[in-house]
Structure 1
Amino acid sequence: MTTGKILLRTALGAILWPVMAPAQTLIAPEAFLDAVVGKTITFHEIRSGLLVGTEEFLSPTHSVWRMEGRGCVYGQITTPNGQICFLYDDAPDGLPVCWWPFLHNDRLMVRLAQFVGSETQEVRSISDDSLNCPSAPIG
């Protein structure tokens, strides 16, 4: 287990609650954010293992996302209904993308909060490194 994962598990340990599957533990979005603000996280698609992208959590309400071969996209973070939602500057429909963060067999995951076409991603690394994106206003 990497140092980043140990740090995240320690920070979240007291704030977890169980869900129906015994090997899964849902994480409150606020607890997730408390643990990742100031960190940069890589997300990989669970089935293929391919890198989906990297997110730097600038504050509890703002992040910057970068996919391989693409530029930086800034997002506003909200936490409605136990979800963590990101409204990115380039969202064509103006709607946020929402996730449920959870632990599964000691692996940090996020699951797209929709019933059709849902996707699960695994956090593979957590670091203090910046994405070195141009500055964005943080409110």
Structure 2
Amino acid sequence: MRHLAILFAVLAAPANAGMSAEEFEAYVTGQTLTYAESGVTYGIEEYLPNRRVRWSFIGDECQEGYWYEASGEICFVYEHNPDTPQCWIFTQEAGRLTARFMGASDGRELYAAERSSEPLRCLGPEVGV
């Protein structure tokens, strides 16, 4: 009987169930993660206390923002585009954090290629000669 209850609980779980906000927060806070897509480095995000973040596409300026949970997704809002949250479902499989973008029809999926406790080094605006 107990096995049936466990089976029903698993079957009833949403197919896109990812990490809860609490699980995600515990995994990322104080860390800087480098994300990649199909073997190509995509960007770097530093996860600060109080669900604050600092993001940079590779070779670009940093953007400040924050994250929150909405309907099982982890959503990010950045200063350059405060009206358009970027929502993802994060999962941890085989020791690797993956992120599936919920706004793209192309099924974009990133994975954390590196994890560090070092802060994100941000380029200044229009650095050059």
Establish whether TM, by shorter chain, passes 0.5: yes
Find the partner of 1:40 among 32, 35, 38.
32
Find the partner of 1:110 among 94, 99, 111.
99
Structure 1 runs not aligned, ≥5 long: 1-16, 135-139
Is 1:122 equivalent to 2:114 in the alignment? no
State the 1:30 CA deviation. 2.2
Query: 2:127 aligns to what?
Result: none
Superposed, 1:1-139 pairs within 5 Å as 26-45=18-37, 48-91=38-81, 94-114=83-103, 116-133=105-122
Per-residue CA deviation, residues 106-139 of structure 1 (Å, 9 max, x unaligned), is: 42201012362331001111110001349xxxxx
Q: Tell me the C-alpha RMSD between the 2 structures.
A: 2.5
State how far apart, in whole Å, the 2-side matches of 1:84 and 1:64 are: 15
State the 1:63 CA deviation. 0.1
Percent of paired sites with the same residue: 28
Residues 36/71 of structure 1: CA separation in 2 closer, same or farther (3 Å cut): same
TM-score where L is the length of structure 1: 0.70
State how far apart, in whole Å, the 1-side matches of 2:73 and 2:14 are: 17
TM-score where L is the length of structure 2: 0.75
Structure 2 runs not aligned, ≥5 long: 1-8, 124-129
